């Protein structure tokens, strides 16, 4: 079975729909939110590490 056999099994989803079940909107609509959330989470993680190093006795 090649890729062409797998690809011919079902039609692609209509425009505006996502192929992943359970998602309300397509992933493209959530990309800015995911990027901003990732940046905020990374900044918070770096802040926590910096505070932990600053408060540890040496």
For residue range 11-45, list pLDDT tens digits in order: 666 666 655 665 555 667 778 888 999 999 999 99
**Threshold 0.85, pTM exceeds:** no
Mark residue 25 as left, alpha or beta (left: phi above 0; alpha: psi -120 to 50; beta: remaining).
beta
Two tokens, residue 30: 């959530």
Dihedral of CA 3/27/15/24: which sign? positive
Position 43 scores a pLDDT of 96
Mark residue 18 as left, alpha or beta (left: phi above 0; alpha: psi -120 to 50; beta: remaining).
beta
Question: CA 54, CA 46: separation in Å to the nearest integer?
Answer: 12
């Amino acid at each position: 079975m090649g890729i062409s056999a797998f690809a011919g099994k079902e039609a692609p989803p209509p425009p505006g729909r996502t192929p992943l079940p359970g998602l309300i909107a397509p992933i493209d609509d959530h990309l800015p939110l995911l990027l901003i959330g990732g940046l905020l989470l990374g900044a918070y993680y770096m802040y926590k590490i910096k505070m932990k190093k600053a408060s540890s006795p040496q």
